[in-house]
């Protein structure tokens, strides 16, 4: 019940296209859903996050869509660029559980010119 399932494992998108990564969870107590971006040789960095009181959050070309009833959330990258090529992790946590993040297995995104 603590798992966060992420798909796809890898994604190839052409420059200018839309990249979509999906995550699903079981624990209804999760109330914080961040996405992390990791470049090779670096640690993950917070990209964007959402709480369940909203269904969508947009920051520039990055949008999180959240479906509370389906227990799913997704990351959309509009106008994907080669510089977006990285591994993306979704995660979830509960505010009361010392904020331990449970991570998905990651999606390796490659954007080709």
Partner 1 sequence: NAGVTQTPKFRILKIGQSMTLQCAQDMNHNYMYWYRQDPGMGLKLIYYSVGAGITDKGEVPNGYNVSRSTTEYFPLRLELAAPSQTSVYFCASSYPQTANYGYTFGSGTRLTVV
Q: Which of the residues 37 through 96 are near partner 1 (CB under 8 A)?
A: 41-46, 49, 89, 95
CA distances from 11 to 2, 7, 30, 59, 87 (A): 25, 9, 26, 21, 10
Between 25 and 104, whose beta carbon lies closer to partner 1? 104
Interface region with partner 1, contact rule CB under 8 A, candidates 20-28, 64-72, 73-81, 100-108: 100-108
H-run or E-run covering 18: none
Q: Which residues contact 5 (CB under 8 A, 6 or more apart)?
A: 23, 24, 25, 104, 105
Q: Which of the residues 16 through 45 are near partner 1 (CB under 8 A)?
A: 34, 36, 41-45
The 8-class DSSP code of residue 102 comes to E
Q: Does 103 bind partner 1 (CB under 8 A)?
A: yes
Between 41 and 113, whose beta carbon lies closer to partner 1? 41
How many helices, marked H, and strands, marked E, lie in the chain?
0, 11
Nearest approach, Cβ of residue 100 and partner 1 (Å): 6
Q: What is the binding site for partner 1 (CB under 8 A)?
A: 6, 9, 34, 36, 41-46, 49, 89, 95, 98-106
């Amino acid at each position: 019940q603590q798992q966060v399932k992420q798909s796809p494992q890898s994604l190839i998108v052409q420059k200018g296209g839309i990249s979509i990564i999906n995550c699903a969870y079981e624990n209804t107590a999760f109330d914080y859903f961040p996405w992390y971006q990791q470049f090779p040789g670096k640690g993950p960095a917070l990209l964007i996050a959402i709480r369940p009181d909203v269904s969508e959050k947009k920051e520039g070309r990055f949008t999180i869509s959240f479906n509370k009833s389906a227990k799913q959330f997704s990351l959309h990258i509009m106008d994907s660029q080669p510089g977006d090529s990285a591994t993306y992790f979704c995660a979830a946590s509960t505010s009361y559980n010392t904020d331990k993040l449970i991570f998905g297995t990651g999606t390796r995104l490659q954007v080709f010119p």
